[in-house]
Structure 1
Amino acid sequence: MKDMMKHTMAGAVERRRDGSGDPLGPNSEIGRKLKQYYDELVSDDVPDRFAQLLSQLEQAEPAQKKD
Structure 2
Amino acid sequence: MKDMTKDTSAGAAGRRRVVSGDPLGPNSEIGRKLKQYYDELVSDHVPDRFAQLLSELEQAEPARKKD
How far the C-alpha of 1:31 sits from its partner, in A, is 0.5
Q: What's the RMSD between the two structures over aligned residues? A: 2.1
Q: Deviations over 1:6-64 (max 9, x none)?
A: xxxxxxxxxxxxxxxx5712x10010000000000001111212101111112223433
TM, length-normalised to structure 1: 0.52
Whose relative contact order is higher, 1 or 2, with alpha carbons under 8 Å and at least 6 apart? 1
- Consecutive unaligned residues of structure 2, counting only runs of 5 or more, are 1-21
Runs of 4+ in structure 1 over 3 Å off: 62-67
Q: Match of 1:24, as an amino acid?
A: G
Q: Which residue of 2 aligns with 1:64?
A: 64
- Consecutive unaligned residues of structure 1, counting only runs of 5 or more, are 1-21
Structure number with greater Rg is: 2
